[in-house]
Structure 1
Amino acid sequence: MDVLLRLLWMLGVLLVGTGLRGVGALNASRTDRLNAATYYVALPSLVFVATYDRSIADLLSGALVVAVLASLLGTAAVAWLLHRNRPTARRSVAVVQSYHSNLGYLGLPLVAATFEPDVTALASVVLGVALLVQVPLTVTVLSTVNGAETSVAREASALARNPVLIALVAGVAIGAAGVPVPVVVTSGLDLLGSLVLPLALLCVGASLRVDLPVTDPGATGSVLALKLGLAPAIAWLTLSGFGVGSAALAAGVVMLGTPTAVSTYVFATELGGDAEFASRNVFATTVASIASLYAIIGLIG
């Protein structure tokens, strides 16, 4: 019941963000500032606090890294086959939105609010590994299918400067070296990290478009089935097959079972994808994920 109430609270905050945008309280500039506070401050703080006091052996294992990569690429391959006959701009979006998860703004904060700290630490690693795959793969698929020009060097540079990855590397390095971190610092970062979920939900809610017509329900339904059904199932089978522990299994399945990331809409707009279709799918998967995540967490226990 606690999990259900938490997920319903999440949906409520999402809708508050959407409502605030509708009445003009969360306009574009305010949403950008809120997003910056979440992305550059709160989320890196959560990642660092989750990892700084753990050894590399506790966090990194070849089985976890390979299983996450196999899960993402396996879901992408199935999506490519399923959506291969759709119109070009829509096909590219359907493929990327079937595997590209909202790991930072929904996945990690949800894990931190629901599971023990060791699961949150491993979810931070899943976030880091997936970021290194999701973004380059999404840019490659969209630019290749739509014939759009992009800069690989620019994307690589953006990843290298990603504050979440920097916080993860810093946390792992400090944990490996056994360097003590002052309590006042960790307490402050812990407080900032606790703000990720409400801030991120408001940002996501302010980005959702609820007024778009459903012009291709079959395609949207396929994205829903793949993202919220097949993706976590593949993650479960893959992680179990590689023999990861229960904490890593919970972290991986919940993280990869999160809805489609809002950033896929941004990438689709920049790289020739069907932007309206992308926006509609972000909304559909986000709302439907309340039920699917409840089921996933219940099965994981």
Structure 2
Amino acid sequence: MSLFDLFSRTLDTTLPVFAMVFLGIGLKRLGWIDSAFITTASALVFRATLPTLIFLSLVRADLSVALDVPLMLFFAAATLGQFLFSWLWAHYRVPYAERGLYVQGAFRGNCGVVGLALAAGMYGQYGLSVGGLLVGVVILMYNALSVIALAAYQPGQSTEWRSILKHIITNPLILGVLIALPFAAFSIPLPSWLMTSGDYFASLTLPLALICIGATLSMSAMRENKEVALSASIMKMVVLPVVSTLAAWAVGFSGQALGLLFLFFASPTAAASFVMVKAIGGNTVLAANIIAMTTLMASLSVTLGIFALRWLGWV
């Protein structure tokens, strides 16, 4: 396969995802969608369609393949390592008041939407089922570690573990994983009409979520706190994905497993990070800038990353 064919194949994976993000930017500028639509659609995705998508993908999955314990353990360990490395870097390079936001923006990826969309585009059912389990793992860590980082540098804030535990237990994505596991483990059949209806409903998830991500991006807001936001974005989209993927390859991951890990490592900063910063009265402009920059950078960095991995023959 020539380099041109290899790059074209890579674009077939990434362009459909990021085209929807840029479509969201365009629709918002045209005034065809507004803030009320974005709020409602985002809530629908988070509370209903995305959990349905994860549930159906796991119900159809072969758990002997999807329940890859070494993969899940490595992903959890890598996430913790990314968190600690970001914190260490922020301690020496970032102003005190902005360190918590920097850490969260640098390690917390949008795995539930962008990562899962890329995984589905690249690996189909395997990407959805294994990715759904990885999402369940990482949600637990993202929520707990983000609160720790933000509370450490935000005056008057403390780490409220009861609140963290409540958010984790009631998280729709985690509930979708937990409800699906018995059906997959014991091969409990569901009526075909229910599966088809579920597919119709779940098919709304990725295009709707990606459009909403694009529609929330603000180009004008990116002018403020540029240096810190750019530093966090480079950490999130370049440094951590490269180091983590090389570590995964070094310990023996390859093929679909390595590709899936890269897609999740290279996902842009999660929109949920903005919500957490706003809840504690932090610098929401900086949080929004990191989300915007990483999302725009992802269209290039993810494409180049997949191309490099395929060129090396690792995936």
TM-score (norm 1): 0.91
- Answering whether residue 290 of structure 2 is matched by residue 281 of structure 1, we say yes
Pick aligned residue for 1:77 from 76, 84, 87? 84
Pick aligned residue for 1:171 from 157, 164, 180? 180
Which residues of 2 match residues 58-73 of structure 1 at below 5 A?
58-73=65-80
User: What RMSD, in angstroms, separates the aligned Cα atoms of the two structures?
Assistant: 2.2
- Quickly say closer, same or farther: Cα 1:216–1:154, change in 2 above 3 A: closer
Q: Amino acid of the residue matched to residue 20 of structure 2?
A: V
Pick aligned residue for 1:202 from 195, 204, 211? 211
Q: Secondary structure at the match of 1:116?
A: helix
**Which digits, 9 at most, give the CA deviation of each residue in 1:190-233, with x for residues without a partner?**
23222222100122122222111534443223212211112222
Distance between the aligned counterparts of 1:3 and 1:49, measured in 2?
A: 27
- 1:67–1:235 Cα contact (<8 Å) kept: no
- The answer for the alignment partner of 2:100 in structure 1 is 92
Distance between the aligned counterparts of 2:134 and 2:305, measured in 1?
A: 17
Distance between the aligned counterparts of 2:159 and 2:277, measured in 1?
A: 12
- Structure 1: 5+ residue stretches without partners: none
> Identity of counterpart residues, as a percentage?
23
**Which digits, 9 at most, give the CA deviation of each residue in 1:140-165, with x for residues without a partner?**
11012213245321221121111111
- Answering whether residue 47 of structure 2 is matched by residue 56 of structure 1, we say no
Shift in Å, 1:3: 4.1
Distance between the aligned counterparts of 1:298 and 1:193, measured in 2?
A: 29
- 2:86–2:103 Cα contact (<8 Å) kept: yes
- 1:68–1:235 Cα contact (<8 Å) kept: no
- Quickly say closer, same or farther: Cα 1:137–1:187, change in 2 above 3 A: same
Of 184-193 and 121-130, deviating more is: 184-193
- Answering whether residue 264 of structure 2 is matched by residue 258 of structure 1, we say no
Alignment length (residue pairs): 301
Shift in Å, 1:294: 0.7
Q: Amino acid of the residue matched to residue 246 of structure 1?
A: G
Shift in Å, 1:9: 4.3
- The answer for the alignment partner of 1:117 in structure 2 is 125
Q: Which has the higher contact order (CA 8 A, sep 6+)?
A: 1
Moved over 6 A (4+): none
Distance between the aligned counterparts of 1:209 and 1:70, measured in 2?
A: 33
**Which digits, 9 at most, give the CA deviation of each residue in 1:52-85, with x for residues without a partner?**
1334332223311221111111111121121114
- Structure 2: 5+ residue stretches without partners: 1-7, 311-315
TM-score (norm 2): 0.87
Shift in Å, 1:113: 2.2
- Answering whether residue 42 of structure 2 is matched by residue 4 of structure 1, we say no
- Answering whether residue 133 of structure 2 is matched by residue 101 of structure 1, we say no
